[in-house]
Structure 1
Amino acid sequence: MDVSSEMIHSLLPVFLATGLGASMLAIGLIEGAAEATALIVKVFSGAWSDWLGRRKPLAVLGYGLGAVAKPLFALATTSGMVLGARLIDRVGKGLRGAPRDALVADLVLPEQRGAAYGLRQSLDTVGAFTGPLLAIGLMLLWANDFHAIFWVAVIPAALSVALLAFGVQEPDAPPGAKRVNPIRRENLRRLAAPYWWVVGIGALFTLARFSEAFLVLRAQQGGLPIAWAPLVLIAMNVVYALGAYPFGRLADTMSHRKLLAAGLAVLIAADVALALADHGPLLWAGIVLWGLHMALTQGLLAAMVADTSPAPLRGTAFGMFNLASGIAMLVASALAGLLWDRLGGASTFVAGAVTSALALAVLAWKAPAAANGS
């Protein structure tokens, strides 16, 4: 599914800006609304999977909806149609996200969670750079025919649904396990202060890290040819894929707070580089550092959610975490687009660096021990 999605998403900002004449604010709102939709839907799918006591059916439904949405991009002729396709696609992502993340925790020992989430993120990211690679090849082969490439993306999406439906086995529920109503007050109280600290810091991280669409637009602003625009996400995701598993294993053996702080420091460096340059080595250094930040933090935050939530409520816990992050993503991407329109591309990344520094200051406060990982 990542191959399919990233074939489209790596080209979508350029398609909107050059093919459909969308403003940077419109692109920011589309990206923010799409990603926020996915993250917000996760809160409902997570709670639903807890109530069902099963994860796979919702995951299959989510991947299926994502596959159905793919042809809509190929048919899109206006920004509104793109927005509609993005929202349907992201609803599918939201439906599958929290049940899938909870399923990972169900399948591994607690002391292996950092490595497990790092590995899952790394394998996800292989698709995230394979998709843009295919997009570049097809753009060069087919003379920048966006719609034809969007049609090709339908194929791997359909294959992913078939693989999940027929190739993945969900473990049986423990003997004597009972259904849990996750939204009952007494159950929600079981999500204690360490968990809510993770939710808060995760939202702040997302506020500092707006949509990667702005990395693509920054490179294009510096003269990167349209056909090569996906190279931005390829570079970022190669670093992300290579680093996610090693840093996930590291998270099983050292302080979570120190790793989060390192991730924020790397994000600040990335924002500074991208603010200073829209082409050349400094631009690409910023893109590489952005991927390194993702490798340091994304699997780690998932492991922290799993560590601070009880097993019967783990789907709900991931859902609530992603609800907070979804709201932050919408705000961050909209503000990033507005700043770009009003003050230029560099201002977007300056604002990101300032927000990251604020998050680093918040992280310097002593976190609850269970969330701190030390």
Structure 2
Amino acid sequence: MATAAIGVATAVWQVAVLRALAWVSRGLRSPARDTLLTDLSRRGAVGRAFGVERAGDNLGAIVGPLLAAVLVGTLGIRHTILLSIVPGMLAAVAITVAAREARRTLVESAARRRLSLGLGALHRAGVTRVLVPLACFELGNLATTLLILRATDLLAARPGWPPSRAASVAVLLYAAHNAVAALAALLAGALADTRGPRLVLVTAAVSYVVGYALLAVGPRGAGLVAAFLLAGCGIGLGETASSTAVALATPEPLRGNAFGALGLTQAVGDLGATVVAGALWAWLGPGVAFGYAGAWMVFAVITSGYAGVARATPRPA
């Protein structure tokens, strides 16, 4: 509802408040969604469940903007934003159905009867150790906006390429990035169930390292396409591995708390990554910014073995 209400906003501050409310709602939604998804999944299919969820999210990032482009051209910006309430309401109905299914099939846990952050219990269960490589991964996970900016700058520097054409091609690269992310998420789910989430996380980090290295050098043509595809592979693999690792490492009574801690880790890490990389970009250039992000991905590979992500299994409460 907050996102749709932007369609009737008349001032910038109103948009800021509504967007903040929408992101607060996302922070409430994501841990609950991941907990519900884990509870409804069979023990050996948790990774595939998260892979399907992540694939759907990335496909939505392709279909949504394309549909919005058509609607903006026919109905205008305000009416298009107002129509965003329709998928939001459909999502609410779907979540309600899933929650009823969970109540019918699952036994109520102690965690559902009391309110507690459970930070000490998470630490004793070893979940905080699993979060260490995930935090490193997020600190290197730059906002896709920076990738689009880099592509736009590189393409606009080509002779005969006006800024509008460069921006259009950069958006197409973003769509390809999301398509690869959807396919990678499906593959990541199957690999996480059979080989463990650590292999998936390491592959994701390595994909980012190579992609960032290409963007730091400043490729054109095939190299730029490869960089976006590698970044898409990295996010599709990494997000699926992160959720799966936390789900497998957490005893059922603490699962909601653990996914909340994961959401906090991702939010703080992503903010830190983009703010620091943006400052480095402004002061020292894009090569340093992407090198900084790549270094955090290397740390994610190193710490993933120490954290025991490979053998993440549910521990007793």
TM range (shorter): 0.7 to 0.9
Amino acid at match of 2:92: V
Alignment of 1:100-249 (within 5 A): 100-137=33-70, 141=73, 149-165=80-96, 169-172=100-103, 174=106, 177-178=109-110, 179-181=112-114, 183=116, 188-189=120-121, 191-192=123-124, 194-221=126-153, 222-223=155-156, 225=164, 226=167, 230-249=171-190
Q: How far apart are residue 148 of structure 1 and its match?
A: 5.9
Q: Distance in 2 between matches of 1:260 and 1:166?
A: 32
8 Å Cα contact 1:115-1:252 kept in structure 2: yes
8 Å Cα contact 2:197-2:310 kept in structure 1: no
Q: Distance in 1 between matches of 2:64 and 2:54?
A: 15
Q: How far apart are residue 343 of structure 1 and its match?
A: 2.6
Amino acid at match of 2:3: A
Q: Distance in 2 between matches of 1:357 and 1:305?
A: 20
Q: Distance in 1 between matches of 2:259 and 2:188?
A: 21
Count of aligned pairs between the two proteins: 303
* Cα distance change, pair 218–204 in 1 and its aligned pair in 2 (3 A): same
2:244 equivalent in structure 1: 303
Q: Distance in 2 between matches of 1:362 and 1:113?
A: 23
Q: Distance in 1 between matches of 2:122 and 2:234?
A: 31
8 Å Cα contact 1:276-1:346 kept in structure 2: yes
Q: How far apart are residue 359 of structure 1 and its match?
A: 2.5
* Cα distance change, pair 113–239 in 1 and its aligned pair in 2 (3 A): same
Alignment of 1:333-348 (within 5 A): 333-348=274-289
8 Å Cα contact 1:133-1:230 kept in structure 2: no
8 Å Cα contact 2:139-2:296 kept in structure 1: yes
2:160 equivalent in structure 1: none
* Cα distance change, pair 81–227 in 1 and its aligned pair in 2 (3 A): farther
Segments of 5+ residues of structure 2 without an aligned counterpart are 157-162
Q: How far apart are residue 330 of structure 1 and its match?
A: 1.6
Q: Distance in 2 between matches of 1:329 and 1:93?
A: 15
1:90-137 per-residue CA deviation (whole Å, 9 max, x = no partner) reads 111111111110001111111111111111111222111111223444
Amino acid at match of 1:203: A
Instruction: Identify which of 71, 75, 82 aligns with 2:5.
Output: 71
CA RMSD of superposed structures (Å): 3.1
Q: 4+ runs of 1 displaced by more than 6 Å?
A: none
The share of aligned pairs that are identical, in percent, is: 27
1:20 equivalent in structure 2: none
Q: Distance in 1 between matches of 2:307 and 2:264?
A: 24
Segments of 5+ residues of structure 1 without an aligned counterpart are 1-66
TM-score by length of 2: 0.82
